[in-house]
Structure 1
Amino acid sequence: MHNKAIRIAVGTQHLNGTVAAPATGFPGILFLHGWGGSQERDLVRAQGLAALGSICLTFDMRGHAETEGQRDTVTREDNLQDVLAAYDSLISHPQVDSSCIAVVGSSYGGYLAALLTTLRPVRWLALRVPALYRDAQWLTPKQQLNRADLNEYRRTFVDPETNRALSGCRKFSGDVLVVESEHDDLVPHLAVASYTSAFIRARSMTFRVIEGADHALTEERHRRAYDALLTRWVREMVLGAR
């Protein structure tokens, strides 16, 4: 905090006053949606967190929403570049403290969020059902990746030394939230465990399972449960740090 002495005019007199303000700008929160999703659901969460005192950015990656026509050709490299551009846009906001950036990623967005930490400073990282992909075929269109092979890969425990995203998690030294869905048929427990086990340098690691939930949180009660989890964590970690 910093204090600034001011004089307040009242008629012909002046009162002494002090303005107490944050020494820096607001924390920034970047939301990364999943494959086949959009910013629409994240926007509701972003509005709630913005009301608590942060500046949030949601966006649609290429291959989604208005650019859905690119779905068959967009690669992971393309979407990682989208994420980097969005991050750079967020920190360019004049009221954002660039040293206080949180990233919230779901599924494919969680995977990209882990990669982002190796390329840009991130202080807080929230991953909901983070998807896991082999490093191979990085420039192959995402839609063309072998689904059966992905399912098999996610049902094994993956060593961080063999995976770029998990290697990023191993080096990450901020605060982490990982949320798993109990009945997830796309990102099973071992895939999530590969992530949680990789965070050996994290300042703090919070892990929660949403009971009865599927991957997409199709039931409203499960969406509310996740929203409550995320809001509590942001209050404690992000806003509490100020």
Structure 2
Amino acid sequence: MIRDEQIEIPVDHRRIAGTMVRPTIAAPGILFVHGWAGNQDQYLSRARGIAALGCVCLTFDLHGHAETESDQDKVTREDNLRDIVAAYDKLAGQADVDAGAIGVIGSSYGGYLAAILTSLRPVRWLGLRVPALYKDHDWTVPKQQLNKRELAIYRRGPVCADENRALGACANFRGDVLIVESEFDDVVPHPVIVNYRDAFDRARSVTYRVIAGADHALSEPPWQEAYTSLLVNWAEELIIGARE
């Protein structure tokens, strides 16, 4: 049996909304992180699918999104990283969650921050769909104010793990990884994916998949279904398999 529980996650002086999707027995925990301009609803159906396999899943709205969208112009990566850390701690602190068996799944901006999270908290499984990449030097600049042209150029070239906080975290990650690329992604181009793949040289396993014909947002239902299938199969093989 699966049940949803609406929760609030305290972050400094504010709160962000979340939905805990859990089975009725103790299980691994899976945290879902949506992309920029997204919301937790984009992952709820997938969270329910993975919860049905025997995991406690948590989706949530990053600050500057959903009910706090009015703050989007001033939100920084540091703000949203704090959101993710707080959400992780909320999940890991649940009585029916194995704190030694936590997975994080993120898309685009959420994937980038999820990678950084692995340097701050124990993560056993890391799923990244079209993970974005940003320069370190403008970390405290509001996300909306980043130079888009400069960023696009940065994403077209090679970046080493010792030059980027997210890639550096990937280089030290020793768990299992899923990387999903969209074939025709004009936001996160192939060189970014190569940078992430190359960084995971210490991971226990790296699974890499490309969704044929897909764009960055997975704007067609078949692409959404393909991603859901990849995610659930990966979770069933690695996360659920680890319990057997």
Q: TM-score, normalised by structure 1?
A: 0.90
User: Which residue in the other structure is 2:127 paired with?
Assistant: 126
User: Which residue in the other structure is 1:63 paired with?
Assistant: 64
User: Which runs of 4 or more aligned residues in structure 1 lie more than 2 Å from their structure 2 counterparts after TM superposition?
Assistant: none
Number of residue-to-residue matches in the alignment: 219
- Displacement, 1:41? 1.2
Which protein is bigger by CA-based radius of gyration? 1
Q: Which runs of 5+ in 2 are unaligned?
A: 1-24
User: Which residue in the other structure is 1:159 paired with?
Assistant: 160
User: Which residue in the other structure is 1:14 paired with?
Assistant: none
Partner Cα distance (1:142, 1:121) in 2: 26
Partner Cα distance (1:49, 1:236) in 2: 11
User: Which residue in the other structure is 1:10 paired with?
Assistant: none
Q: TM-score, normalised by structure 2?
A: 0.89
Q: Secondary structure at 1:72's aligned position in 2?
A: helix
Partner Cα distance (2:192, 2:239) in 1: 26
Give the RMSD, CA atoms, in angstroms.
Answer: 0.8
User: Which residue in the other structure is 1:28 paired with?
Assistant: 29
- Displacement, 1:201? 0.2
Partner Cα distance (2:226, 2:205) in 1: 21
Q: Does 1:205 align with 2:192?
A: no
Partner Cα distance (2:59, 2:93) in 1: 15
Q: Does 1:236 align with 2:232?
A: no
User: Which residue in the other structure is 1:188 paired with?
Assistant: 189
User: Which residue in the other structure is 2:111 paired with?
Assistant: 110
Partner Cα distance (2:61, 2:89) in 1: 15
Partner Cα distance (1:157, 1:106) in 2: 21
Q: Which runs of 5+ in 1 are unaligned?
A: 1-23
- Displacement, 1:59? 0.2
- Displacement, 1:52? 1.2
Report the AA paired with residue 44 of structure 2: L
Partner Cα distance (1:137, 1:231) in 2: 35
Deviations 1:156-206 (A, max 9, x none): 011111000000000000000000000000000000110011000000000
- Displacement, 1:25? 3.3
User: Which residue in the other structure is 1:143 paired with?
Assistant: 144
Deviations 1:36-95 (A, max 9, x none): 000011011001111110000000000100000000000000000000000000011100
